[in-house]
Amino acid sequence: MSYFPYDTLEAAVALPNRLKPSPNAPVDPSKHDVGDIVRSQPPASARVKVPKKSETTNLLKEIDLFTALQYGTAEGYPPLLSFIRQFVREHLHPNVPYAGGPEVILSCGSTDGFSKAIEAFTNVWNQDRDWIHDREGILCEEFAYMNAIQTVKPRGLNIVPVAVDAQGMMASGKGGLTDVLENWDFSRGRRPHLMYTVT
């Protein structure tokens, strides 16, 4: 701890009321200037100060540089994991019927988490040694995040695009989810058992 060249970490953080959310439906920019929405409220912020060493003995509330800058547990930084788990259970998915509510897993970012999920839920397929009927697939929006596609390709998965509209992936209609699955061509491999969607 004595070798860390920091005594505290301080920041000014934005409070939730700082920005108004933009509408979900497309709007006429001439009627709703985003700049006006942002300027209509004065900036609201607060200062946060993280000490070098916390006095608490509760690991879930021990927010300090000494703990954060060390190698931690495999699950991730305990106060962060505890906060995110509580937030997910109380606000994002309060009605999930699992005992204790849904669980969360921390990752280094979206591509890292996506990569781990792909490894957990799929098998590698190689056209030089494996039967086509063993090839697994993944459904995705026709315009997908390129890093996700590049993560899936080396595993030999069949990447199956689904048409989108203004609301996201289409459930029905030409190129929609129902159309893709009901008219599945098994010469391309198994019907996909995973879906990657952003919208």
Q: Is the residue at 108 inside a domain?
A: no
- CA distance linking residue 146 with residue 97, whole number of Å: 34
- The domain boundary residue, chosen from 32, 53, 74: 53
Highest mean pLDDT among 30-39, 62-71, 162-171: 162-171
Residue 28 has pLDDT above 80, yes or no: no
Q: Is the residue at 62 inside a domain?
A: no
Q: Is the residue at 45 inside a domain?
A: yes
Average pLDDT over residues 150-164: 93
Q: Is the residue at 26 inside a domain?
A: yes
Of 18 and 166, which is predicted with more confidence?
166
Residue 184 has pLDDT above 80, yes or no: yes
Q: Could you tell me whether strands 164-165 and 168-169 are parallel, antiparallel, or unpaired per DSSP bridges? A: antiparallel
Q: Is the residue at 98 inside a domain?
A: no
For 24, the domain range is: 1-53
pTM of the model: 0.65
Nearest alpha-carbon partner for 120 in 141, 101, 131, 105: 105
Considering its fold, how many domains does the chain have in total?
A: 2
In this prediction, residue 76 carries a pLDDT of 85
Least confident of 97-111, 136-150, 185-199: 97-111
- CA distance linking residue 104 with residue 82, whole number of Å: 9
Q: Is the residue at 60 inside a domain?
A: no
Q: Which residues pair with 160 in a beta bridge?
A: 139
In this prediction, residue 43 carries a pLDDT of 61
- The domain boundary residue, chosen from 17, 32, 53: 53
- CA distance linking residue 157 with residue 125, whole number of Å: 7
Provide the token pair at 99.
């005992």
Q: Strand, coil or helix: what is 142?
A: coil
Average pLDDT over residues 116-144: 93
Residue 38 has pLDDT above 60, yes or no: no
Average pLDDT over residues 32-60: 73
